[in-house]
């Protein structure tokens, strides 16, 4: 009786381990997650556009387990003086949150901050004259703040 019970318990334990291992493997992020994350956090407009397209279709990227949460520009205005910086800040948050989760934040922080500045400068490119100068100055201030405190 004891031998039968022990055999049954061992078989049950083995089945549980097999199911758990299979479920973990099935829910693991795709192997190219670091490459995708890198491609979405570069300074180029094409990197920004690829991230924005993915952000608008997050469900297609669910298997990657990306953190899409954002507080936009944190304690700074999201649209200072009417300049629409919120989406640039959201991409910056995306980079910070996901590189921190990957344990590689410190090696990527500088590029993430540079990408924020490039994004903000693209916003400012839509203005001219004194308005562009004000936007550029505000973008520089945001950039310096994240470099120092981000």
Domain spans, the chain: 1-29, 31-149
Separation of alpha carbons 108 and 98, rounded Å: 11
- Nearest CA-CA partner of 110 in 83, 92, 135: 92
Q: What is the pTM of this model?
A: 0.82
The domain 31-149 having CATH identifier 1.20.90.10: the answer here is yes
Mean pLDDT over the full length of the chain = 88
Per residue in 53-77, pLDDT (tens digit) is 999 999 999 999 999 999 999 999 9
Compute CA 77 distance to the chain's CA centroid, rounded to the nearest angstrom.
20
Phi first, then psi: give them for residue 6, nearest 5 degrees.
-65, -40
Separation of alpha carbons 113 and 134, rounded Å: 20
What is the residue-level pLDDT of the chain in tens, covering all 150 positions? 444 444 444 444 444 334 333 344 456 889 999 999 999 999 999 999 999 999 999 999 999 999 999 999 999 999 999 999 999 999 999 999 999 999 999 999 999 999 999 999 999 999 999 999 999 999 999 999 999 999
Q: Tell me which residues are annotated as active site.
A: 92
């Amino acid at each position: 009786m004891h031998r039968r019970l022990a055999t049954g318990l061992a078989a049950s334990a083995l089945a549980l381990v097999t199911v758990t291992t299979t479920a973990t493997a099935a829910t693991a992020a795709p192997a190219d997650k670091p490459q995708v994350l890198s491609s979405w956090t570069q300074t180029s407009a094409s990197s920004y556009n690829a991230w924005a397209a993915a952000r608008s279709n997050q469900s297609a990227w669910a298997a990657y387990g990306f953190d899409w949460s954002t507080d936009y520009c944190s304690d700074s205005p999201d649209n200072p003086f009417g300049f629409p910086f919120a989406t640039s800040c959201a991409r910056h948050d995306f980079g910070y949150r996901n590189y921190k989760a990957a344990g590689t934040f410190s090696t990527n922080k500088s590029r993430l901050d540079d990408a924020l500045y490039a994004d903000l400068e693209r916003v400012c490119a839509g203005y001219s004259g004194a308005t562009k100068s004000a936007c550029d100055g505000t973008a520089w201030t945001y950039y310096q703040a994240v470099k120092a405190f981000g």
